[in-house]
Structure 1
């Protein structure tokens, strides 16, 4: 065992766990599944940490493992499991209107296909460039661009986002 690698990995986990958990929530739609996804993914990454050359590679590889693990879980879907209708309250203090807006946006995101949701989460919530999203998702930059474009179009048309006037522009804010 290399103590340097273990120390670097521990620092990565301590520094990025919350961000990874938020990303996991965007992929799964549930906080407890997001935590399980992060822990499972970090376990897989820990075994391959020696082959990663830098901290950036560690973060990118972890996100790739999270997307792939989430997809595997979805494919193995347990019988009787249904998506939740309501999302948990945000842990951060916020105004009620912002919480309602966020809730509608997250519920609309949950209706999109998993790869589309992953592309939107990586592109806009994690603020990664198209090339990095393509690398994580294992596809071309053009595929990322078309997936994101179709996803934003579906969000613009989604009935949950058309419930009130301020939200009709919510997907447009994602583009900025």
Structure 2
């Protein structure tokens, strides 16, 4: 009896991760400021934790929200690690590697602008507008007030508009 429950848990986990992996990677890519390698690491850490705690995750009212919160925390935790400060890859990239949005014309400009935002503003914008999470959920995930999420959204969007309009003027 216990074995069949575990098999059902694993099947549910595999189904969930298989369906959501591309979206998790896109979110991580943007949260990591366009660093595809770092995004891969963060997604791997997140889905590992999701596996470890799948029964609790699966019982939550909103599994996507729970996993997105885990993803944001993985980005924050990864930045705290001493090895995260060491760059092991060259700054120049040849565009290979299957990064998300590879076919979108303005992807480089948007990702570059997101990269220049402070980490909290970037996290707020990605969660609010890419992941379409409610303000209250973003506040809870980031451990701040709803007002802070609103002000960070406003400041982040203003900064993005300024950066992107400067690029268009060139």
Question: Normalising to structure 1: TM-score of the pair?
Answer: 0.77
Question: Any idea what SS the aligned residue of 2:45 has?
Answer: helix
Q: Does 1:34 align with 2:64?
A: no
Q: Does 1:145 align with 2:123?
A: no
Instruction: Name the counterpart of 1:124.
Output: 129
Instruction: Name the counterpart of 1:20.
Output: 24
| Structure 2: segments with no counterpart, 5+ residues | none
Count how many residue pairs are aligned between Structure 1 and Structure 2: 161
State the structure with bigger RCO (CA 8 A, min sep 6), 1 or 2. Answer: 2
Summarize the Cα distance change of 1:88–1:119 in structure 2 as closer, same or farther, 3 Å threshold.
farther
Asked whether the equivalents of residues 50 and 57 of structure 2 are also in contact (C-alpha less than 8 Å), the reply is no
Matches of 1:49 and 1:153, distance apart in 2: 38
Q: CA RMSD in A?
A: 2.8
Asked whether the equivalents of residues 87 and 107 of structure 1 are also in contact (C-alpha less than 8 Å), the reply is no
Question: Following TM superposition, by how much is the alpha carbon of 1:116 offset from its aligned partner in structure 2, in angstroms?
Answer: 1.0
| Structure 1: segments with no counterpart, 5+ residues | 168-176
Question: Following TM superposition, by how much is the alpha carbon of 1:129 offset from its aligned partner in structure 2, in angstroms?
Answer: 2.1
Q: Does 1:50 align with 2:55?
A: yes
